[in-house]
């Protein structure tokens, strides 16, 4: 319960706020005042109750399926809070990252009152729809928040006292929020503390599964806190940091952008090779690069257990190992995708044509527990409409003219126990979308021409360069299928959007197997990195292969050799531009004068200095604009 003097102060502050007059500091908490301002800017009328409509039952079912892992992880804490909520006239609320209420438990009498303001499952309680409230504010501010009584923007919500905290997943993204709400007239001072403790447990539990193939580091300044929710937890794969909890980031003064960018050696002075031989470890001492000492336990990845395939699957050869060509941030996303796949959650990959969606899907498969099982890729845009049904679902003997004797299993059954990748699913005809939906719902496929339905077990990854949500709105794609396949959506960046294009291109060059036969000069690599590559990886790889094919053995590829066949003329030195123009006109080119290396370096340095000036001297921002790594800027400037 808020003291009467405090309540009078807040009422006075509300009047000043709505009159457009300044409010004295410390009267209203800053997050709540920020929320009032956002609500006012949206044109909300504080005297009225917001009109809140629950989503449909079908959409709710999809939401529950989409957040099954979150609900499972939160269930023990929600049950633990249930008894407290019952005795204090409260309800416990779980929402997704957008504020959609997924579940509520607690005092039934208060639940009835809360339902009168739509505080119930299926209703979005984001700030944009319900004004200032603990759930919406916690999701926006990214921190635990209490909103009591008249601190709510809408006056009809004034009978509520709400305490909420955001739930962060191991990759630093908000996965949802946990809230305890009760009557404002009751004493709810304990609620925020209980919610925070529960969220600590949930975030700690995230690391119980899904990281078996990672090295796990648990650490703290105090030895006795190892193994508790107060410990920092970091996950490394091949020495690179890929995940961690908030405690760990706070202890090392990092944020979520550290994932995918730091090695173990970047964080700790202890050599990475000094680790225990197996399993759970005894405590050891670590020292960070800032000089701070920690107690730590390190646990090695579990060895991969070979899966013995039944004879009917052994004829499907496992795919070759792929060296992912993505930048560090996308490689970190890969780890999240693997965990989702192993939880049997369908993934939808979005990205421009040529952005590496199939390569990403194959990398997910190869890093998952199904790596030794089939990976079946189907390009829905490449199969003729008349054949896609039989290719996907299979057919019985004599199902149609020209059918093979004894029929065909179909690609869906070929993917049994493995991964089915449906590329460009936006091009699948509407009639076949309904058949695919039925397969996903019933987990069985019926071949053309009759016959009995065959059970199937596979993980699904879909991809499209089109916006499927827009297609759903236009009636070009089934909404029920969209929600089934897009339980988690990942957007792959275009090549031009990657932070370190230069390093990515260098890695692709090495992956093409050039070895010592043909080398790529630093200046040529800078030119390749400066181009936007509208065709993304597909265009880049084709161009690099052509460069290799046309290069002499043991030669070095220089900027002069990158003719307009591979890069736009305005990106190349003037001499090369004129040469390309002569070739295009059918004129025999004159021998190109060599471009002095000093002139090229001076041109590059001038371009770097110009962009640096435009970015106010910010090297990271300039590197992103130039599509090169920061080290290139330092090297060119002689730093």
Measure the CA–CA gap between 276 and 291, rounded to whole angstroms.
23
Indicate whether 9 belongs to any domain.
no
- Per-residue pLDDT tens digits for 595-622: 344 444 565 666 677 777 777 777 767 7
Do 485 and 540 reside in the same domain of the chain?
A: no
Q: Quick check: 255 and 172 in contact, CB under 8 A?
A: yes
Is 229 found in the same domain as 284? yes
What average pLDDT does range 195-223 have in this prediction?
89
- In which domain, by residue range, is 574 found? 496-637
pLDDT digits (tens, 9 = 90+) for 60-82: 887 887 888 888 889 889 888 88
The 3-state secondary structure of 557-623, one letter per residue: ECHHHCCCCCCCHHHCCHHHHHHHHHHHCCCCCCCCCCCCHHHHHHHHHHHHHHHHHHCCCCHHHHH
- Locus of tokens 């004068």: 593
> Is residue 313, in this structure, part of any structural domain at all?
no
46 in a domain, yes or no? yes
Same domain, 215 and 188: no
Q: What is the predicted pLDDT for the residue at 556? A: 82
What is the C-alpha separation between 182 and 149, in angstroms, rounded? 10
- 267 assigned to some structural domain: yes
Whether residue 147 is predicted with pLDDT greater than 50 in this model: the reply is: yes
Q: Is the pLDDT of residue 594 over 60?
A: no
Half-sphere exposure of 400 (CA within 13 A, CB side): 10
Helices 536-550 and 501-511, axial angle in degrees (round to 10): 50
Q: What is the DSSP secondary-structure string of 119-166?
A: -STT-B--HHHH-S-HHHHHHHHTS-EEEEGGGSSSGGGTTEEEEEEE
Q: What is the pTM of this model?
A: 0.51
Q: Identify the band that residue 565 occupies on the pLDDT scale cut at 50, 70 and 90.
A: low
Q: Please give the pLDDT value at position 601.
A: 52
Q: Is residue 310 part of a domain?
A: no
List the single range of 421-430, 487-496, 502-511 with lowest mean pLDDT.
Answer: 502-511
Question: Which among 395, 393, 413 has a CA at the least distance from the CA of 404?
Answer: 395
464 plus 503 within the same structural domain: no
Q: Is the pLDDT of residue 105 over 90?
A: no
- For residue 566, the tally of other CB atoms under 10 A from its CB is 21
Confidence of residue 460 (pLDDT cuts 50, 70, 90): very high
Return the H-helix or E-strand segment holding 248.
Answer: helix 246-252
Q: Please check whether residues 592 and 503 belong to one and the same domain.
A: yes
| Domain co-membership, 543 together with 626 | yes
Q: Is 21 contained in some domain?
A: no
Among 372, 377, 368, 360, which residue's Cα sits nearest to residue 344?
A: 368
Are residues 137 and 273 part of one domain?
no
In a shared domain, residues 179 and 244: no
Torsion 56-157-125-3 (CA) sign: negative
Residue 336 sits in a domain whose CATH number is: 3.40.50.300
Domain end point (choices 491, 524, 542): 491
Is residue 307, in this structure, part of any structural domain at all? no
Question: What gap in Å lies between CA 472 and CA 391, rounded to an integer?
Answer: 25
- Any idea which of 1-15, 164-178, 257-271, 622-636 has the lowest mean pLDDT? 622-636
Predicted local distance difference test score (pLDDT) of residue 574: 47
Instruction: Mark whether 512 and 535 lie in a shared domain.
Output: yes
Rounded to 10 deg, the angle between the 630-637 and 619-626 helix axes is 110
pLDDT at 305 over 60: no
> Do 147 and 98 belong together in one domain?
yes
Among the ranges given (44-58, 270-284, 469-483, 617-631), the one the predictor scored with the smallest mean pLDDT: 270-284
Q: Are 31 and 132 contacting, i.e. CB atoms less than 8 angstroms apart?
A: no
334 falls within a domain:
yes
Q: Are residues 461 and 391 in the same domain?
A: yes
| Residues 45 and 59 reside in one and the same domain | yes
């Amino acid at each position: 319960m808020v003291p009467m003097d405090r309540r009078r102060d807040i009422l006075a502050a509300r009047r000043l706020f709505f009159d457009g007059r300044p409010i004295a500091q410390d009267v209203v908490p800053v997050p709540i005042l920020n929320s009032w301002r956002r609500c006012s800017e949206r044109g909300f009328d504080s005297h009225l109750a917001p009109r809140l409509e629950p989503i449909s039952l079908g959409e709710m079912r999809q939401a529950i399926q989409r957040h099954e892992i979150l609900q499972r992880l939160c269930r023990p804490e929600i049950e633990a809070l249930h008894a407290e909520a019952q005795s204090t006239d409260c309800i416990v609320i779980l929402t997704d990252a957008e504020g959609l209420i997924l579940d509520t438990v607690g005092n039934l009498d208060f639940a009835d009152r809360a339902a009168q303001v739509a505080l119930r499952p299926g209703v979005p309680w984001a700030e944009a729809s319900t004004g200032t409230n603990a759930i919406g504010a916690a999701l926006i501010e990214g921190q635990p928040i209490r909103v009591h009584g008249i601190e709510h923007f809408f006056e009809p919500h004034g009978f509520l006292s709400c305490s909420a905290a955001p739930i962060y997943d191991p990759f630093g993204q908000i996965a949802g929020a946990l809230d305890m709400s009760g009557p404002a007239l009751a004493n709810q001072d304990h609620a925020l503390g209980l919610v925070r403790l529960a969220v600590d447990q949930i975030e700690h539990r995230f690391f119980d599964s899904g990281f078996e193939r990672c090295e796990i580091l648990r650490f703290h300044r105090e030895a006795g806190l190892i193994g508790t929710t107060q410990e920092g937890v970091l996950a490394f794969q091949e020495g690179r940091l890929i995940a961690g909890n908030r405690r760990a980031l706070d202890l090392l003064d990092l944020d979520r952008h550290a994932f995918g960018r730091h090695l173990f050696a970047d964080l700790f002075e202890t050599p990475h090779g000094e680790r225990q031989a197996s399993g759970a470890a005894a405590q050891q001492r670590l020292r960070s690069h800032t000089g701070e000492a920690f107690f730590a336990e390190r646990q090695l990845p579990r060895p991969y257990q070979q899966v013995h395939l039944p004879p009917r699957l052994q004829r499907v050869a496992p795919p070759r190992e792929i060296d992912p060509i993505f930048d560090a941030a996308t490689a970190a996303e890969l780890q999240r995708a693997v965990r989702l796949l192993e939880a049997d959650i369908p993934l939808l990959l979005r990205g421009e044509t040529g952005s590496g969606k199939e390569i990403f899907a194959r990398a997910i498969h190869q890093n998952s527990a199904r790596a030794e099982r089939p990976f079946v890729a189907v390009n829905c845009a490449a199969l003729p409409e008349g054949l896609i049904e039989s290719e996907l679902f299979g057919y019985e003997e004599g199902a149609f003219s020209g059918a093979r004797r004894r029929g065909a299993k179909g690609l869906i059954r070929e993917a049994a126990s493995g991964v089915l990748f449906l590329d460009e699913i936006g091009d699948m005809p509407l009639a076949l979308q309904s058949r695919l939906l039925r397969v996903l719902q019933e987990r069985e496929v019926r071949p053309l021409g009759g016959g009995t339905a065959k059970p199937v077990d596979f993980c699904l990854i879909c991809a499209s360069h089109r916006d499927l949500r827009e297609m759903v709105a236009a009636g070009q794609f089934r909404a029920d299928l969209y929600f089934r396949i897009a339980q988690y959506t990942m957007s792959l960046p275009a090549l031009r959007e990657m932070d370190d294009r230069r390093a990515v291109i260098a890695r692709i060059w090495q992956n093409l197997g050039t070895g010592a036969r043909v080398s790529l000069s630093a200046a040529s690599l800078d030119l390749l990195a400066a181009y936007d590559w509208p065709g993304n990886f597909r265009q880049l790889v084709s161009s690099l292969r052509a460069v290799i094919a046309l290069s002499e053995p043991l030669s070095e590829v220089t900027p002069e050799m990158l003719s307009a066949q591979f890069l736009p003329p305005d990106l190349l030195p003037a001499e090369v531009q004129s040469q390309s123009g002569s070739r295009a006109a059918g004129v025999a080119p004159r021998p190109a004068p060599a471009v002095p290396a000093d002139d090229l370096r001076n041109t590059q340095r001038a371009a770097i200095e110009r962009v640096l000036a435009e970015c106010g001297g910010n090297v990271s921002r300039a590197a992103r604009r130039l599509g090169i790594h920061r080290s290139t800027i330092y090297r060119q400037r002689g730093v």
